[in-house]
Amino acid sequence: MLDFLYNDISYIGLFIVCFLSSTLLPMASEAFVLAFVKLDFNNYMVLFVASLANTLGSLSTYALAYFGESQILEKYFKSSLQKLEKINANFTKFGSLYAFFTFLPIVGDLFALGLGFSRYSFLKASIFIALGKLSRYAFVIFIANSI
């Protein structure tokens, strides 16, 4: 029974770390995923939890820009918004690529903000963000199992 609780609580912790790391908070969720794999947690469950949490975190950043009041966005992200306004057409034209590459450190958060700011399709953003996050964590798990 304790193993069951240990696993459940651990996956909840992984979810929280992966969610927060894909918002505007800088964290290295890959290190946690690597640790979970090395501690013999189920690879598929780690992949699912990490990908889902990281996708939802990026979508929360997307929603912040999509639904956010311009005054709030300007107050906290003024320099980012000025850059995003200049490249707004690119987010509309190449949105699926930007969504896929939200897994990249630092710029991924800006990509998610830009997608929301440019009102890119939520469905398309969700699909391509999820594919990018899934690909990244699958790669991390593959590497973790190789070393």
Distance CA 27, CA 49 (A): 16
E-strand stretches of 33-78:
none
Summarize pLDDT for 43-63 with one digit per residue, the tens: 999 999 999 999 999 999 999
Close Cβ partners of 80 (under 8 Å, ≥ 6 residues apart): 110, 113
Cβ(53)–Cβ(14) below 8 Å:
yes
Close Cβ partners of 59 (under 8 Å, ≥ 6 residues apart): 112, 125, 126, 129
Q: Please report which confidence band the pLDDT of residue 73 belongs to, taking 50, 70 and 90 as the band edges.
A: low
pTM: 0.86
Cα–Cα distances (Å) from 25 to 39, 89, 98, 121, in that order, read: 26, 27, 19, 24
Which of 115, 54, 55, 53 lies closest to 80, judged by CA? 115
What residue spans define the domains of the chain?
2-146
Average pLDDT over residues 31-44: 94
Distance CA 115, CA 113 (A): 5
Does residue 1 register a pLDDT over 50?
Answer: no
Q: At 108, phi and psi to the nearest 5?
A: -60, -40
pLDDT at 81: 64
Does residue 68 register a pLDDT over 60?
Answer: yes
